Structure 1
């Protein structure tokens, strides 16, 4: 590899390096992903998104996809900052949609994108917030009651899949948490593959308003997590809010997201997505990491 072009994008402060590999010619590895996401020696990001045609994505064994290579034209090959892959990223898929529209690869409007968690339908306007149908929350196979520990302090939590695993902790005061979250400890029996952990305060039941911090599996604490906001909203709707399918506002350190659960059970996520910069990695840098 002698050159590598990239785009930097973000959704509510959850930032990503996007690689336009339309025909699947790039061999993406965990080492390269970790180097790109390094905020000192690389570009810096919470994850890497390879933009690839679905039929080409399945030609590379390292993609490790479970779905069939049919359906959506475009596949979001999402990698965490630690070089592992993930089923889904709610903020990342909005940035992915913005990229496709801005590059003229698709028209604004309704769009279906392939992910490791299955196809997802987006509404991508030319400008403004993007809405994603994240599919239904998955309760089966996840603990109704589990525990999350920060050091010596243990908190009750609820497990849910969207489709990646989440452990949601409802707190009376989010401000009681430390300024920097250490890595939470989870039950290996309840979450054998780990989980994202959301710490959530219900600011107003009448206004359906939540505040959230998140520690992401594979990325540490981030400014936002789209699937985490969905997990927080559906757990709060079950336990603290009237489950009336009205939108729930979720404030995260990087901004605000809206989550709505339809009468059919599908969870919709709405929020901003911006493309920040385009660039090219130098040949010398690539030689060190490829």
Structure 2
């Protein structure tokens, strides 16, 4: 039996397993098993909370297809809520080790529970080779790319995982089930790609839909919101050092692309339920 907690950040939902004292065999297979909607718990993937030698806690996250991701902004906010609400820490500022480095979390408490979490996401990566993008360009900003039978202008950013941002009007009308996989598996992206379709409402407000590699369209993506704000700044659509609101299908996040190249993200984290499930 595996004990778990279901949590979500703006509808980007994961199954969380406390591995501080116990181990979970074959987490990739468990992620596929538990993520099946209608047939199991249902989620965008799995998050393990582990001990760390270099930070207060360690996070590993797996997508619904079993692939391991380097970072998830919504998931790390929920990790902050989990460890505080469960009495695993009394800190309101703590560090979490991820595959994309150590992230600092600042917790906002209401009625002895975490309500909001601000995450220092570290510096945005714009160097194409480090994202990675298969191109000879140093940066891949507002570049035309043929995907399917249409031409899109892409700006690529890494926030610990790779993102391609497309600025487009009327994003609600997009058929992401059709075009999302075409971006995810495009030859430009050797590690696949998360793809954000972004509508600029004004210079401090964006609207975004996201196709996440390994999971499909999700209600929210924290790293994607950060990447979208970075892309908006470098394309002169939003100002630097300003808090930008990103409307996602599951709710709102704010992100600030600072002059030192780092990104701050703030949003909610929500507990749904606890459970226990057979896994052989």
Using the size of structure 1 for normalisation, the TM-score is 0.86
Q: How does 1:256-275 map to 2 (within 5 A)?
A: 256-275=252-271
CA contact (8 A) 2:180 2:195 kept: no
Is 1:24–1:53's contact at 8 Å kept on the other side of the alignment? no
Q: Residue 220 of structure 1 aligns with which residue?
A: 216
User: Partner of 2:66 in structure 1?
Assistant: 83
Residues 145-160 of structure 1 correspond to what in structure 2 (within 5 A)?
145=143, 147=145, 149=147, 151-160=148-157
Aligned: 1:169 with 2:169: no
Structure-2 residue corresponding to 1:238: 234
C-alpha separation in 2, matches of 1:130 and 1:148: 38
Gaps of at least 5 residues in structure 2 are 134-139
- Give 1:1-290 correspondences, 5 Å limit: 3-54=1-52, 70-127=53-110, 128-140=115-127, 141=129, 142=133, 143-144=140-141, 145=143, 147=145, 149=147, 151-178=148-175, 180=177, 182-186=179-183, 188-205=186-203, 208-281=204-277, 283=278, 286=279, 290=280
Deviation at 1:52, TM superposition (A): 1.1
Q: 1:198 to 1:242 in 2, by over 3 A?
A: closer
Q: Name the structure with the higher strand share.
A: 2
SS in 2 for 1:234: helix
Take 1:212 and 1:260, find their aligned partners in 2: how far apart are those partners? 16
Give the Cα–Cα distance (whole angstroms) in 2 for the partners of residues 227 and 179 of structure 1: 19
The secondary structure found in structure 2 opposite 1:43 is: coil
For residues 167-203 of structure 1, what are the alpha-carbon distances to aligned partners after superposition, in whole Å with 9 as ceiling and x for unaligned?
0001133234137554332375531010100000001
Distance 1:270 1:181 in 2: 31
Q: Which runs of 5+ in 1 are unaligned?
A: 55-69
